Amino acid sequence: MLSPVRITLAVVGTTAALAASACGGGEATVAEGSIATVDGTEISKAELDELLDQAKQGAEASKQEFPKVGTPEYQSLQTQYVAYLVQREEFRQAAADLGVEVAEKDVDAAEDELVKSRFAGVRKDYEKALDEQGLTSDAYRSTLETSVLTQKLYEEVTKDTAVTDGEALQYFTQNTSQYGTPASRDVRHILIQIPRDGAPEPAAGQPYPTDQIDFAKSKAKADEIYAQLEGGADFATLAKNESSDFSSADAGGKLTVRKGETVPEFDKVSFELDEAELSKPVKTLYGYHVIESLSPVHPAKTTPFGKVRASIRATLLSQKKNEAMSAWVEDLRTKYEGKVSYAAGYEPPEVPEAPTETQ
């Protein structure tokens, strides 16, 4: 389902958002019937009313309450739409300066892609969704036009952005852990938790929290379990009957541990044991564990840079482009300071200055 509120404002999220705030301070006179003027171009109240009406119909279609006129919620929504319309006009003017144009065929393509991706290519379903929210295809094409314009501006502003192999390699070197698997080994363990007197029962299947454990009694019980195992008792049977780690107890205490992913004490002992060696009780914040190693340590593996170079470059390129677009939007905001004027009642709220520290 299409939502006028979400989609009209979500247009800005295609690549670089139309800012949620708008610059003001202009001294130009705003004509009657307009809410603002952007460097000489009027924005009519009818445009704002149309967006608010679409938002209201969208809310009703989704059975959501629409804020009443005069409420802070309504004023907030109106402020968002005014900012959207003002910055949309700033983008249009900037596009003209850059020679960026949006042709009908561009909007056609965007509409076709929307029908394909959201409505499985069934145009009747698309038109039905529009109709249910009081939208016409022509009205919604205006939204799509803004989306296409934003995308084209993004492409123009970021066209010279590039990432070198050196930058990709530096990122890889600094984030090697993301491109491999840590050392691992198979172990089995029995967790002993004896609760303090009067401790409330934990949720089903959950261990006792640290502050509810009697560590002295847990240690004594763990020593008993260790002695039984040393005497030839079956580990799996004891794990099923005695372990407080319910997630592994039914499997005889078996689990695969990865270096650095368990609590430090458990991690240290798990990787120091010789193969098939049984540890004495190990204290952690969960209680006392008796651990037995079941496999050799499988060494850590790192994916070669050559296999991830392309994906790293793509990630860094996207980041660089977004940064470039954000800087461009900020420059545009600065450029229009003093060039945007608002009719009474439509001014953006004042943003309080950050407090200045005094010595």
The verdict on residue 237 lying in a domain is yes
Q: Are residues 198 and 80 in the same domain?
A: no
- What token pair was written down for 356? 């200045």
The verdict on residue 168 lying in a domain is no
- What pLDDT is attached to residue 203? 83
The verdict on residue 356 lying in a domain is no
The verdict on residue 176 lying in a domain is no
Report d(CA 38, CA 336) in Å as an integer.
8
The verdict on residue 83 lying in a domain is yes
Task: For the chain, give percent helix, strand, coil, nearest 5.
Answer: 50, 10, 35
Q: Are residues 70 and 213 in the same domain?
A: no
The verdict on residue 172 lying in a domain is no
Helix ranges (DSSP H) in the chain: 4-10, 45-61, 72-98, 104-119, 123-132, 137-157, 165-174, 215-230, 235-242, 246-249, 264-272, 305-335
Q: Are residues 191 and 284 in the same domain?
A: yes
Q: Are residues 225 and 329 in the same domain?
A: no
Report d(CA 100, CA 93) in Å as an integer.
10
Report d(CA 71, CA 68) in Å as an integer.
6
**Tens-place pLDDT, residues 237-282:** 999 999 999 999 999 999 999 999 999 999 999 999 999 999 999 9
Report d(CA 109, CA 298) in Å as an integer.
52
| Number of structural domains found in the chain | 2
CATH number at residue 106: 1.10.4030.10
Q: Are residues 103 and 206 in the same domain?
A: no
- What pLDDT is attached to residue 301? 93
The verdict on residue 300 lying in a domain is no
Q: Are residues 265 and 334 in the same domain?
A: no
Residue 183 and residue 270 in contact, taking contact as beta carbons nearer than 8 Å: no
Report d(CA 359, CA 357) in Å as an integer.
7
Report d(CA 47, CA 60) in Å as an integer.
20
Cα 62 to chain center, whole Å? 25
CATH number at residue 284: 3.10.50.40
Q: Are residues 51 and 153 in the same domain?
A: yes
- What pLDDT is attached to residue 204? 79
Q: Say what the pTM is.
A: 0.69
Report d(CA 55, CA 321) in Å as an integer.
32
- What pLDDT is attached to residue 226? 98
The verdict on residue 196 lying in a domain is yes
Q: Are residues 288 and 317 in the same domain?
A: no
Q: Are residues 215 and 157 in the same domain?
A: no
Which portions of the chain are predicted below pLDDT 70?
1-28, 351-359
Q: Are residues 238 and 145 in the same domain?
A: no
- What token pair was written down for 311? 């994906």
Q: Are residues 31 and 143 in the same domain?
A: yes
- What pLDDT is attached to residue 106? 96
261, 293, 325 - which closes a domain: 293
Q: Are residues 60 and 143 in the same domain?
A: yes
Residue 236 and residue 222 in contact, taking contact as beta carbons nearer than 8 Å: no
For residue 210, give its domain range: 183-293
